[in-house]
Amino acid sequence: MASFYREIVFGLRSDPYVAVQRPEHHGQEAGVTPWSWSDSIASWSWDGYEGAPITVEVYADADEVELSVNGRSIGTRPAGAPQRFRAEFETVYEAGLLQAMARRGGEDIGRTELRSAKGPVRLDVEVDRPEITADPLDLAFVSVTLVDDERALYGNSDRQVGVSVDGPGVLQALGSANPKTTEGFGESMCNTFDGRALAVVRPTGRGQIVVTVTADECDPHSVRIDVSP
């Protein structure tokens, strides 16, 4: 969340950014300092919490932001520098479409939406670039995300994923952003956190590397990385 917030503060992003506080912790007080962030993620998939109270944060460099759920307005709040570029809304969780609209001088300047995931969970696997060099320091970063058929994030359906590497490369590290994990980064399996994991691949020669990711109840997904001289 912090990186998107900084983009907005420094004028690098016109669209608002939407973060949702975990409904299981709604109303709980935590130690807050000027440097702390709320426990929130950019997801509107909260199976089992239909009708439960939920807090939505919107970051925007705008006069005001409006939040809506399934086309129904939740309200409008001031934003921009006077509000530290942040607006907060209280509502109840309802699966569907969450939208935030930013306005300045009465004109729309950007919008962002989150959609609830539905249907089977599938693996979305992407590499940061399709080609690297045969240099052991030129690493490839492979992101693993749990999504539905329209790539909406399954943020609360975590599962164990396995990663294998074929060709002139090795799995250098695998892990998630879970702050409480006891898993080692040197293993070939890990549990996703908030629906995500990251694999780091190191080349050992020239050719093509194939990275394959598997998970229970998901079809395997492979990506290819070309290793040039």
pLDDT digits (tens, 9 = 90+) for 9-59: 999 999 999 999 999 989 887 656 666 788 899 999 999 999 999 999 999
Interval 145-187: pLDDT, tens: 999 999 999 998 999 999 999 999 999 999 999 999 999 999 9
Q: 122-228 has which CATH code? A: 2.60.40.10
Give ranges for CATH 2.60.40.10 in the chain.
2-115, 122-228
Q: What is the dihedral of CA 149, 155, 158, 162, to 10 degrees?
A: 60
State residue 210's pLDDT score: 98
State residue 32's pLDDT score: 61
| Nearest partner of 194 among 159, 155, 157, 160, judged by Cα | 155
- 2-115 domain in CATH 3.10.105.10? no
Given a cut of 80, is residue 111 above it in pLDDT? yes
